[in-house]
Amino acid sequence: MRATRLGAALAAALAATLTLSGCGGGEPAGTPEAARTQSQAPQGPVKLTYWTWAPNMDKVVEVWNKAHPDIQVTVSKQAGGDDAAAKFLTAAKAGNPPDLVQAEYQHLPSFVAAEAVADLKAETETVKGEFGEGVWGLVTLGTDGVYAVPQDSGPMMLFYRQDLFDEYGIEVPKTWDEYAEAARAVRKKDPKVYLGTFSSKDPGAFTGLAQQAGAQWWSISGEAWKVDIADAPTVKVADYWDGLVKEGAIDDTPYFTPEWNKALADGKLLTWPSAIWAPGTLESNAPKAEGKWAIAPMPQWNAGENHTGFWGGSSVAVAAKSPNRAAAARFATWLNTDPEAVGALVKEAAIYPAATKAQTALTEAPGYFANQPDFWQQAAQASAGARGFTFGPNVGVTYNAFRDGFDKALQDGSPFSGAVRAMHEATVADMRKSGFSLAS
């Protein structure tokens, strides 16, 4: 009997240990809490975490940490793009977001709608003048608030293989009509080569093309959202690419796939309508083509115009729940306006800065484009003609509908304009379900 009791006692002890190790988790959990309280105390340095996926951001942050022993920033490198946005929203909902987060412009409205980011209006009053109106609109969303500090921008341009253009005897297209002609000409000269490709996986690129044509997917009228994704300019863009893909003049390999990388490396793809950040991608995927690529303004819908759209670009936002909002805002403004910081961003993270002064300070072309000394002048020109629009609060839904819709259109040959309408319907249905006010 005694032995049984001993056994029971031991089993209970084991169970208790295991349970304790379960609860013991509370101990390390207390630590960040403790660190937080400590950081609020005046004596210790403020500790900030920063979620980003820009390469080499650690090196830029190092500069800040050296100069500001009282505010120490830790970089946490995340998987980029939509994953990062979803993860930040979940973290904010759960109540433990990082202090600072890299926010792509199209995701910022979702962050604001989820009340995940702080209004930095007071903190950014002094740096407002450093940014152009277009890019500033992307962080205010046309409201009185300021929800992030712009970091980089991605005006679109036409990247093309200069050497192969010469070889095939093709002129750089100035309009989309010329682009279509060139696409057909290339196919005739070499059936293995395409002038370009349409990606059903990159809603960001399509958004940029639609912006160039003058699309206005979302806008705010009074106290209601106006949604018009299947507007005339967007349908025009969709129909244009639809035609080219269907007649076989353009490929449909998605961007950033191994397949696409190979086509770039092999010289089977002659152009890429992309954003200013493209040199980094080209350099890492087709290192041997260095000096063979060149940039030109985007082909225009009407000859003589100078319009383009944006693809990508990020801002730095401060979490609404951050206990160190002032310090975080100080860091965010420093990172994106201080000449030393922006210089380091350009050099280490290879971004095209959003701050106007920093843009004009760029002189030396990226190494990969050493053959084109006027690279940055071209970029500045493109930037001047770029037009964007206010993004809506559920871009995730819209972009997902883009992928599903265009995948399906490519698969069963249905018209692209149908996919655009599906995007519109999915977006409106989701906003209606959530209860957003919609202007009809």
| Residues in region 132-191 near other proteins by CB under 8 A | 141, 143, 145, 154
Q: Does 254 bind other proteins (CB under 8 A)?
A: yes
Among 7, 44, 248, 373, interactor with other proteins by CB under 8 A: 7
- State both tokens at 233: 């300019």
Of 169 and 191, which has the nearer Cβ to other proteins? 191
H helix intervals, 247-374: 258-266, 278-285, 325-337, 339-344, 356-360
Binding mask 317-356 for other proteins (x = CB under 8 A): ----------------------------------------
Pairing mode, strands 100-104 and 314-318: antiparallel
CA pair distance 296, 427, nearest whole angstrom:
34
Of 241 and 406, which has the nearer Cβ to other proteins? 406
CA pair distance 220, 55, nearest whole angstrom:
35
Residue in the block written with tokens 């300019």: 233
Among 39, 45, 47, 53, interactor with other proteins by CB under 8 A: 53
Amino acid at 46: V
Residues ≥6 apart with Cβ < 8 Å to 168: 185, 186, 189, 190, 193, 270
Among 243, 408, 415, 417, interactor with other proteins by CB under 8 A: 408
Among 8, 35, 232, 303, interactor with other proteins by CB under 8 A: 8
Q: Does 362 bind other proteins (CB under 8 A)?
A: no
**In the bound complex, what is the minimum distance in angstroms from residue 337's beta carbon to other proteins?**
21
Among 110, 308, 336, 378, interactor with other proteins by CB under 8 A: 110
Q: Does 98 bind other proteins (CB under 8 A)?
A: yes
Of 160 and 399, which has the nearer Cβ to other proteins? 399
Q: Does 236 bind other proteins (CB under 8 A)?
A: no
Q: Does 429 bind other proteins (CB under 8 A)?
A: no
**In the bound complex, what is the minimum distance in angstroms from residue 85's beta carbon to other proteins?**
9
Q: Does 196 bind other proteins (CB under 8 A)?
A: no
Segment near other proteins (CB under 8 A); pick from 128-136, 239-247, 285-293, 339-347:
285-293
Among 45, 214, 280, 291, interactor with other proteins by CB under 8 A: 280
Distance of CA 5 to the CA centre of its chain: 64
Q: Does 258 bind other proteins (CB under 8 A)?
A: yes
Among 47, 407, 415, 418, interactor with other proteins by CB under 8 A: 407
Q: Does 413 bind other proteins (CB under 8 A)?
A: no
Provide φ and ψ at 438, rounded to 5°: -120, 130
Q: Does 122 bind other proteins (CB under 8 A)?
A: no
Residue in the block written with tokens 């843009």: 359
Amino acid at 201: K
- State both tokens at 287: 């290192």
**In the bound complex, what is the minimum distance in angstroms from residue 29's beta carbon to other proteins?**
4
- State both tokens at 341: 């910081």
Using CB under 8 A as the binding criterion, the count of chain residues that bind other proteins stands at 108
| Cβ count within 10 A of residue 241 | 21
Residues ≥6 apart with Cβ < 8 Å to 404: 422
Count of alpha carbons within 13 angstroms of residue 291, beta-carbon side: 3
Percent of the chain that is helix, strand, coil (3-state, to 5): 50, 15, 30
Binding mask 212-231 for other proteins (x = CB under 8 A): --------x--xxx------
Determine contact, residues 243/340, Cβ cutoff 8 Å.
Answer: no
Give the DSSP letter of residue 365.
Answer: P
Which of positions 68-87 make contact with other proteins (CB under 8 A)?
76-84, 86-87
Of 170 and 269, which has the nearer Cβ to other proteins? 269
Q: Does 200 bind other proteins (CB under 8 A)?
A: yes
R_g (Cα) of the chain, nearest Å: 25
- State both tokens at 331: 């860091």
Q: Does 206 bind other proteins (CB under 8 A)?
A: no
Closest by Cα among 44, 85, 104 to 324: 44
Segment near other proteins (CB under 8 A); pick from 164-172, 359-367, 376-384, 401-409:
401-409
| Cβ count within 10 A of residue 425 | 14
Among 155, 204, 309, 366, interactor with other proteins by CB under 8 A: 204
**In the bound complex, what is the minimum distance in angstroms from residue 86's beta carbon to other proteins?**
4
Q: Does 26 bind other proteins (CB under 8 A)?
A: yes
Edge-to-edge strands of the sheet including 314-318?
71-77, 46-52, 100-104, 314-318, 149-150
